[in-house]
Structure 1
Amino acid sequence: MTAQNSATLPNAIAVGASATGRRTRRPALGGTTLAAAGVVTFSLTFPGTAWGLESFGPWSLFGLRCLLAGLTAGAFLLALRVRVPDRAHWAGLVVVAGGVVVGFPLLTTLALQTSTTSHAAVVVGLLPLTTAVVSSLRTGARPSRRFWIAAVAGAVIVLGFTVAQSGGALSAGDAFLFAALLVCAAGYTEGGRLARLMPGWQVIAWALVLCLPIGVAGSALGLAYEPVELTGRGVAGLVWVAVGSSFLGLFVWYRGMAEIGAARASQLQLAQPLLTLLWSVLLLGEHLSPAAPVAACAVLVCIAVTQRPDGPKRGRTT
């Protein structure tokens, strides 16, 4: 199958979904599953970054992450002989690269020098709602009032829980975290839009390739000025954030987003902070509050509400 034919898949799914109610459920279920797999992958990003910082400085880790992810993506594009995207898509790819490949990883890596993974999960607690808002402004999508109520409720629950976990105090890295929130929401939204025009994995692959020069420069400068102490956990963390979070996770995320829309997909990320807290306990030895199961159940209810179809109006508002 050629890249041009693959690019028509989201459109074909959309046509099939409008034909019968029975067809509508399969693409939605598949898209939800793919986006959920991306969320699980993303939930390991902060612990992976914390591991990576045991061996590398923040600038070295960021540069090597971009470099390895770009080389992995480039290898896939060359092996499959994917043609270069149309000129009209490059502006959007730059936004994806700037927000998801460069902005969010760099800003969160800098934040994790002074913040715990539990506290950094606050930014992810706000990301679903921010992405839904940015997506609505960028694409003209108009989710239902029920969706917005559930989205805001989920964000409040996650924020309340994660702030309580961190003692209720803001850290020095919060400026980095809130900036990461904005650039990532823009990258997700633009990537979701492009994933309707070309295969989702190619969206992130080309964005990663665009950042190869930044990866080379960042790696060279970082390794020249920052100490390196290689450990098993440090190398594993680097490999995970470069290949797992930056490529594989975004691959399934954008593909799922193309099927169910950026707003609905973003709400699945309400579960991400709680998953991150779980990994922080299992992998980093941080402590988890007994309130976690209660918060998890409340968040799952909010997610279930946001994933319900909006009915006949949905076709006119998305």
Structure 2
Amino acid sequence: MSGFSISSSSGPSASDAARGLLLGLAGVFMFALSIPMTRLAGGSAAAPQLDPVFVAFGRAAVAGLLSLAYLASTSARRPRGDEWRLLAITAGGVVFGWPLLSGLAVRHVDAVHAAVVSGVLPLATAVIAALALRQRPSRGFWACALAGLALVVGFAAWRGAGGLEMADGLLLGAVVCASAGYVSGARLTRTASAPGRPKRGEPPRGAAVPQGGRGGMGLSAEQVICWVLVLSLPITVPVALWTRPMAPVAASAWAGFAYVSLFSMWIGFFAWYRALALGGTLRVSQVQVLQPFLSMLLAVPLLGERLDATTVVFAAAVLAVVWLGKRQPVGQPKEALP
């Protein structure tokens, strides 16, 4: 999991840093359960439960209805201008692409396998951000990116007895979709956190802004994910109703669906963004490296999956490359995007 960037012009206090770290750990834990719970909801190819299409669109529909209530209760301003286009791109990545492709994939590979492959997500997000924002990453950054891809492909080939499976392609596609969605969502929040002099008609940087956001400021990260989900409702609700189960499914499948609807798609984002705001992006985002390991560990008691030494070694190598990649210098773009 990676998120829309939230920056701060000054460092957090000790108490805010501690609260941010705790909330960050809580957010990572919630997201770490996403892959095992998606597998629990959809079942396997041998023992299917809920249709992966229903799980993907249904979870977004539930979270979208909750988001509609949240936006109404906070009098959040409506998006305008180019924000609608960026919201649509974000929705394509995090509402449709990632949930659908990853849900289809975990029907055919176990959650441990999916956790290792998706562990490269933070690095993939950095690559897409560098390209989209015209940044100039160092050679070390690109070396880490290529090493991460090589490790993931190597792991998938090893698990596939020398060849890649269709599920591996779905997982890599899900990673690309999520990365593109996160970068697009981050652009929506940039004006709210960008340093410098305010434009005419905007309040001074750091000044209190009504929740309605009538000024020229960007959307908050919480508002972004809510508007993304609300914008998707005309698609998610009909598809969820159309693909709803007609035969009984296990209670555990419904429990998995409830979890990904409430926590993976909604509450987890709120905890994560609040953590970034309190503790600072650079500090709190480091706990992301724990997510694939937590996913693998949680899949053992929840799904009865097995961990072997080779899988743990591959996971550790992927996370080490991600950790190193995040520390490589990235040059600023020659001219800022509008």
Judge same fold: TM > 0.5, yes or no.
Answer: yes
Q: Under TM normalisation by the shorter chain, which class is it? A: 0.7 to 0.9
Matches within 5 A, 1:149-164: 149=143, 153=147, 160=154, 164=158
Contact residue 158 and residue 273 of structure 1 kept, 8 A = no
CA distance in structure 1 between the partners assigned to 2:100 and 2:227 by the alignment? 19
Look up the match of 1:181.
175
Structure-2 residue corresponding to 1:222: 243
Change beyond 3 A, Cα 1:27–1:305: farther
Give yes or no for the alignment of 1:90 onto 2:109: no
Cα distance in 2 between the residues matched to 1:39 and 1:283: 17
Deviation at 1:241, TM superposition (A): 0.8
Q: Report the counterpart of residue 50 of structure 1 in structure 2.
A: 39
CA distance, structure 1, for counterparts of residue 315 and residue 107 of structure 2: 27
As a proportion of its length, which structure holds more helix? 1
Pick from 121, 142, 145: which aligns with 2:115? 121
Partner of 1:248: 267
Q: CA deviation at 1:69?
A: 1.0
Aligned counterparts, 1:9-24, within 5 A: 13-14=8-9, 16=10
Stretch moving more, 226-235 or 66-75: 226-235
For 1:1-318, list aligned pairs within 5 A: 13-14=8-9, 16=10, 37-54=26-43, 55-149=49-143, 153=147, 160=154, 164=158, 169-196=163-190, 197-223=218-244, 226-254=245-273, 260=281, 265=285, 269-291=288-310, 302=321, 305-306=324-325
Cα RMSD after superposing both structures: 3.8
**Cα distance in structure 2, aligned partners of 1:304 and 1:123:** 15
Moved more, 274-283 or 35-44: 35-44
Distance 1:185 1:35 in 2: 19
Tell me the CA shift for residue 165 of structure 1: 5.4
Residue pair 1:63, 1:216 contacting (<8 A) in 2 also: yes
- For 2:181, the aligned partner's letter is G
Shift of 1:50: 1.4
* Cα distance change of structure 1 residues 257 and 124 upon mapping to structure 2, 3 Å threshold: farther
Normalising by structure 2, report the TM-score: 0.72
Instruction: Give the superposition deviation at 1:180.
Output: 1.5
Q: Which runs of 5+ in 2 are unaligned?
A: 44-48, 191-217
Residue 131 (structure 1) shift: 1.0
Aligned residue for 2:66, secondary structure, equals helix
**CA displacement, residues 124-164 of structure 1 (integer Å, 9 cap, x when unaligned):** 13322221110001123445555555555556556655664
SS class of match (2:82): helix
Q: How many residues align structurally?
A: 297
Give the 3 Å change call, closer, same or farther, for CA 31–305 of structure 1 in structure 2: farther
What letter is aligned with 1:221?
Answer: W
Report the 3-state secondary structure (helix = DSSP H, G, I; strand = E; otherwise coil) of the residue aligned with 2:180: helix
Q: Name the aligned partner's letter for residue 250 of structure 1.
A: F
The 1:34–1:160 alpha-carbon spacing in structure 2 relative to 1, beyond 3 Å, is: farther
Structure 2 Cα separation of the partners of residues 235 and 30 of structure 1? 32
How far has the Cα of 1:219 moved from its partner? 1.6
Question: What is the one-letter code of the residue matched to 1:233?
Answer: S
The CA deviation at 1:35 is 5.5
Any idea what SS the aligned residue of 1:173 has? Answer: helix
- Residue 255 (structure 1) shift: 5.5
Task: Describe the SS at the equivalent of 1:211.
Answer: helix
The 1:272–1:71 alpha-carbon spacing in structure 2 relative to 1, beyond 3 Å, is same
Question: Structure 1 residue 49: deviation in Å?
Answer: 1.0
8 Å contact from structure 2 (residues 37, 259) kept in 1: yes
Question: How far, CA to CA, are the matches of 1:73 and 1:62 in structure 2?
Answer: 17
Q: Give the conservation status (yes or no) of the 8 Å contact 1:45–1:245.
A: yes
Task: Note if contact 2:6-2:281 (Cα within 8 Å) is conserved in structure 1.
Answer: no
1:61-107: CA deviation from partner (whole Å, max 9, x where unpaired): 22321211111211221222222123331111111111001111011
